[in-house]
Amino acid sequence: MAVSGPRPKTCAACGRGIAASEVYYRFTLVLQGEQDVLGPAGGGSTGDDLASLLKQLEEGPESPREWEEQVHWERSGVVCAACRSVVVRMLSVPPDVARPH
């Protein structure tokens, strides 16, 4: 039986191949949508607001999968050393510093 080396890896950010001798970084990113309070729709009760929202969702053009991905999105993979620096810098900005999206 032949023993093969490690499987080739590709950076999830830049797409560059990562050699088996290079350092790489594993990541898991989970984005979960949350909303503390429903906005005032028309002064009705909360039950009315929820029924109206459900009707709007059912009649909209988005598929259930699209709605699900807006609420829960998860990815994992590896990044190269250069992309790790960019990701860490981007996610480490203090919240009071406004940056364009």
Indicate whether 42 pLDDT > 60. Answer: no
Listed by start position, the domains of the chain span 9-33+66-92
Write down the pLDDT at residue 95.
66
Share of the chain residues as helix, strand and coil, in percent rounded to the nearest 5: 35, 20, 45
CA atoms within 13 A on the CB side of 89: 7
Q: Give the global pTM.
A: 0.62
The DSSP symbol for 11 reads -
Write down the pLDDT at residue 30.
94
Query: pLDDT for 54-74, tens place per residue?
Result: 887 788 888 878 878 888 999
Write down the pLDDT at residue 46.
62
Alpha carbon distance 47, 39 (integer Å): 13
Lowest mean pLDDT among 7-11, 43-47, 53-57, 92-96: 43-47
User: Quick one: 23 exposed, middle or buried, by C-beta within 10 A (0-12, 13-18, 19+)?
Assistant: exposed
Radius of gyration of the chain from Cα atoms? Answer: 21
